[in-house]
Amino acid sequence: MTLPIGVLVSGRGTNLQALLDACAGGALDAKIVYVASNRDGVPALIRADRAGVRHAAFTVDKYGTRAAAHGAMADTLASARARLVVLAGFDHILAPIFFVKLSGVPVINIHPALLPFFGGKGMHGDKVHAAVLKAKAKESGVTVHRVHPDTVDMGEVIVQRRVPVHDGDDVPTLSARVLAVEHEAIVEAIRRFLPSQATVS
């Protein structure tokens, strides 16, 4: 049975694109049923539109509070019958109401480093790569992990992929190397949730 997925985005949407391509090409027996953003007009929403996937922005400006925006997002994902939620470059911490409304639906996140290192509140996007370089780490990578209420980057690891950090790397070169493996790791992680795999609840 094809897995219906909801995807949450905030910006560029290359991970979303990797998922759209994997579903369309048959590499993943899943269907993206809804794309929700916390920002208006971001490229990720344009990607959803082009792929013919229902989508909307749930902004704090529109809903008044983060909890109201996240609650509305959860209601919409539930109506779309999403059975897995993927945070693909989503930069808000989800309000607890989101998990209450989607009780029983697993939520997973892509983090562009090797958790438990270089994670936590405020560590997203280029800040992560800058911290890895500052620490002179020899390797970085990607972690796809479960998301639970009131924790940031602490859920069970589903897939981890490593990449080397080279002498002379800067944020753009390191982030590009990590991004390439993100696109593979997120597809691999979602495969673990396919009904035919049934090892992850």
Asked if residue 89 binds ligand GRF (CB under 6 A), the reply is yes
- Give the residue with the Cβ less far from ligand GRF, 12 or 148: 12
Q: Would you count residue 120 as binding ligand GRF (CB under 6 A)?
A: no
- Of 4 and 125, nearer to ligand GRF (C-beta) is 125
Q: Which is nearer to ligand GRF, 111 or 191 (CB)?
A: 111
Closest of 185, 134, 138, 196 to residue 161, by C-alpha: 185
Q: What is the rounded distance in angstroms from the CA atom of residue 184 to the CA atom of residue 189?
A: 9
DSSP 125: T
Is residue 12 near ligand GRF by the rule CB under 6 A?
Answer: yes
- What is the size of the binding site for ligand GRF (CB under 6 A)? 15
Where does this chain touch ligand GRF (CB under 6 A) — which range of 5-13, 20-28, 143-151, 163-171?
A: 5-13
For residue 108, what are the β-bridge partners?
86, 146
Are the C-beta atoms of 36 and 77 separated by less than 8 Å?
Answer: yes
Residues within window 35-54 making contact with ligand GRF, judged by CB under 6 A: 44
Query: Given candidates 3, 7, 8, 15, which one binds ligand GRF under the rule CB under 6 A?
Result: 15
Q: How many whole angstroms separate alpha carbon 48 and alpha carbon 36?
A: 9
Give the start-end residues of each E strand in 1-88.
3-9, 30-37, 55-57, 84-87
Q: By CB under 6 A, is residue 14 in contact with ligand GRF? A: yes
What is the pattern of x (binds ligand GRF, CB under 6 A) and - over residues 162-181?
Answer: -----------------x--
CB of 18 to ligand GRF, least distance (A): 8
148 is catalytic: no
d(CA 66, CA 70): 6
Catalytic residue, from 55, 70, 111, 183: name it: 111
Say if strands 30-37 and 55-57 run parallel, antiparallel, or are unpaired: parallel
Which member of 182, 185, 187, 189 binds ligand GRF (CB under 6 A)?
182
Distance between the two ends of the chain, CA-based, in angstroms? 16
- Contact flag: residue 119 with ligand GRF (CB under 6 A): no
Tally helices (H) and strands (E) across the chain.
7, 7
Sites of contact with ligand GRF (CB under 6 A): 11-15, 44, 88-89, 110-112, 124-125, 179, 182
